[in-house]
Amino acid sequence: MNIQELGNVIYNTRKNLKLTQKQLSDGICTQPTISLIEKGEILPSLDTIYYLSLRLKKPFSYFLHVLFMNNYSQVHQLVMYFEELTAKHKYEQIYEIAVKEIAEPVDPWLNHFLKWQLNLSSYKLKKIRFNEVIRNLKELLSTKYSVILDKDFLKERICNTIAFIYATNNDYKSALVYYNKINLELLNETSPKMSRDVY
């Protein structure tokens, strides 16, 4: 368990929302308890984490993931870096990093994320063809991965990629099928970064 990381994330999220420790603790616990949680000195109960997640406008699972994933910060930084590279269309770098990172044993969610990035970059670099990338991406959406796909909108991200690839290949009907699989209402409620306009 990563109590220190959980404390850091709660502290940073509270600061981003411009809440005081007193405002965060109101009706949940005491202000000194919040201070100890943020310092990583105590582990809050699941009930407390749940109520803090509501106040901090983050899914409960987000804080549990931070608590139980030993390398949360490194994974988060890697994902942010991939997003930055994607925005700049630096697919060669994405491909190289994804190949290297997949070779290492990693968290199942990160492995799935990397496979998505590897397929997208391979297609953009013309290392795989249209039919192959579509088949590979659809396999990543298999129901056997449903728990993994629910975290951090990975299902929506993959569906968006499939829709985009279909659209750029003039198959607008298939593109709309995958676009319509994206839960835009959920995205708007829980992630300003992943807004409807992104899709």
Could you tell me the two tokens for 180?
């319509």
What is the rounded distance in angstroms from the CA atom of residue 51 to the CA atom of residue 162? 36
- Give the model confidence (pLDDT) of 36-46 as tens digits: 999 999 999 98
Proportion of the chain above pLDDT 90, given as a percent: 62
How far CA 131 is from CA of 17, 68, 136, 166, 173, in Å, comes to 44, 38, 9, 10, 16
Tell me what pLDDT residue 169 has. Answer: 96
Same domain, 55 and 79: no
Query: How many domains does the structure of the chain reveal?
Result: 2
85 and 49 co-located in one domain: no
Any idea what the CATH number is for the domain that residue 139 is in?
Answer: 1.25.40.10
Domain boundaries, position 167: 72-198
Same domain, 189 and 109: yes
Element (H, E) at 151: none
Give 98-143 pLDDT, tens digit per residue.
Answer: 998 887 756 788 889 999 999 999 999 999 999 999 999 999 999 8
**Residue 185 in 3-state DSSP?**
helix
Residue 58 sits in the same domain as residue 46: yes
Residue that has been written with the tokens 């990975």 in this structure: 154
Task: Name residues whose C-beta falls within 8 Å of residue 170's C-beta, 6 or more positions apart in sequence.
Answer: none
